[in-house]
Amino acid sequence: MEPGHWPSEHSDALRDHFLKGMSYAEIGREINARFGTAYTRNAVVGRAKRLGLVAPARMMSPSIVPSLSGEAWLPSPRRPAVPYLNVPPKSALKPAARVKLRCVGVQPRLIPLVELGRDDCRYPYGGDKDGEQITFCGHPRQPGSSYCTPHARLTRRSEAASARAAGPVVLRLISAA
């Protein structure tokens, strides 16, 4: 017998036993004894699901807390099954608020990459929409930076934070062994 292939007689027996209220393990034992097969409980569960058979809600075991006199035991209500576990929360599906960008008051020259000179500011513009070309500021850049002075201020952290984070760097030469 091929794995995953159930002859119609086996599926019919599963359906009959299921309708009698037998557990999946009991159904598996009955089918295996009747047809000489070796179905596991999980195989029976999988086939039952594929046949559209839904198991009744499990019996709830009684509470270990003793009930008060005259109070009948009632099972606690089951939580409903969550059908879509991978769906993001509704708040994630709302459009994000537009971010207000800081402006530096520089009129960019909008130079394409192929025409960008060695000493030109490399602050990018465009490319937000499909097919839109990315261009660059193109103003003279400040020494030691890829950007002009106004754009360099936009890309750096505050002076106090950068002074704390950067600090002096000490390099030491070591001899190779």
The span from the CA of 4 to the CA of 7, in Å, is 10
Q: What is the pLDDT along the chain (177 residues), one digit of tens a residue?
A: 455 688 999 999 999 999 898 899 999 999 999 999 999 999 999 999 988 887 655 545 555 555 555 555 555 555 555 555 666 677 777 777 777 666 667 788 889 989 999 999 999 988 878 888 899 999 999 888 899 988 888 777 655 555 555 566 666 667 765
Sheet strands (E) in the chain: 111-112, 124-125, 135-136
Predicted local distance difference test score (pLDDT) of residue 1: 45
The span from the CA of 51 to the CA of 15, in Å, is 8
Q: Which residue has the tokens 């929360």?
A: 89
Q: What is the pTM of this model?
A: 0.34
Predicted local distance difference test score (pLDDT) of residue 82: 57
If one counts every other C-beta atom within 10 angstroms of the C-beta of residue 79, the result is 6
Predicted local distance difference test score (pLDDT) of residue 7: 92
Predicted local distance difference test score (pLDDT) of residue 25: 92
